């Protein structure tokens, strides 16, 4: 069993809910391995450190635990996934400038950002895998596994937003 560190953010669909009541419910519902953040009413963020045989098992069981307590809750985001160069630098223990230089120098093989702007955003899994393969960085397998799983969870969540009457060849179109 490995320990997986990740954050799940949910919309509870109830802006009037009292945070003190649902914190206890989450604890009793299996989320006793999470720090619970309750900034904005109706939203919740859970920072899990969960033991499991895989990242998927850790994340899926955590989502199931939250949904068992709050059936109407909708997942907003699973992290770590979306990152800027500053985030990558912090994770790898480098400077932002160093990370930028490595990406710009090897632009042909570097992962393409999912958003180009200020700041540009990448999927953490793609960046970590590239740094491991192309730059020989030593990166923890559990971090890559959790980043890959979160990327897939977030993509699946986004895919649900595609209108049902949208032309069926959309996957081929964007490939």
**Residues 14 and 61 occupy one common structural domain:** yes
167 part of a folded domain: no
> CA–CA distance from 174 to each of 46, 67, 70, 171 (Å)?
33, 32, 35, 6
Closest by CA position to 2, among listed 72, 68, 49, 67: 49
User: What does pTM read for this prediction?
Assistant: 0.90
53 part of a folded domain: yes
User: Residue 14: CA atoms inside 13 Å, Cβ hemisphere, count?
Assistant: 11
128 part of a folded domain: yes
Specify the CATH number for the domain of residue 13.
3.30.70
13 part of a folded domain: yes
**Residues 73 and 86 occupy one common structural domain:** no
**Residues 123 and 57 occupy one common structural domain:** no
For residue 149, pLDDT beyond 80: yes
- The stretch 104-124 carries a mean pLDDT of 94
Q: How far apart (Å, rounded) are the C-alpha atoms in residues 85 and 122?
A: 8
Whole-number pLDDT of residue 161: 84
**Residues 6 and 74 occupy one common structural domain:** yes
**Residues 96 and 44 occupy one common structural domain:** no
**Residues 122 and 99 occupy one common structural domain:** yes
Reading the block at residue 21, the tokens are: 């009541």
For residue 170, pLDDT beyond 80: no
125 part of a folded domain: yes
**Residues 101 and 67 occupy one common structural domain:** no
Domain boundaries, position 105: 82-139
Q: How confident is the model at residue 8 (pLDDT cuts 50, 70, 90)?
A: very high
24 part of a folded domain: yes
Please write the tens of the pLDDT for every residue from 63-99: 999 999 999 999 999 999 999 999 999 999 999 999 9
Whole-number pLDDT of residue 118: 92
**Residues 95 and 63 occupy one common structural domain:** no
Q: How far apart (Å, rounded) are the C-alpha atoms in residues 26 and 34?
A: 9
Residues 6+ positions from 18 with CB-CB distance below 8 Å: none
Indicate the number of domains in the chain: 2
58 part of a folded domain: yes
Q: How much is the mean pLDDT over the chain?
A: 91
């Amino acid at each position: 069993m490995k320990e997986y560190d990740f954050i799940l953010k949910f919309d509870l669909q109830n802006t009037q809910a009292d945070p003190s009541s649902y914190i206890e419910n989450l604890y009793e519902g299996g989320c006793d391995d999470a720090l619970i953040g309750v900034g904005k009413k109706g939203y919740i963020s859970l920072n899990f450190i969960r033991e499991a045989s895989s990242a998927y098992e850790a994340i899926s069981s955590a989502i199931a635990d939250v949904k068992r307590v709050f059936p109407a809750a909708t997942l907003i985001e699973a992290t770590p996934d979306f990152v800027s160069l500053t985030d990558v630098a912090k994770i790898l223990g480098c400077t932002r400038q160093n990370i930028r230089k490595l990406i710009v120098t090897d632009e042909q093989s570097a992962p393409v950002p999912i958003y180009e702007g200020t700041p540009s955003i990448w999927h953490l899994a793609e960046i970590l895998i590239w740094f491991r393969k192309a730059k020989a960085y030593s990166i923890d397998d559990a971090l890559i596994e959790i980043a890959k799983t979160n990327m897939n969870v977030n993509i699946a969540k986004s895919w649900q937003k595609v209108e049902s009457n949208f032309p069926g060849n959309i996957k081929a179109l964007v490939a």
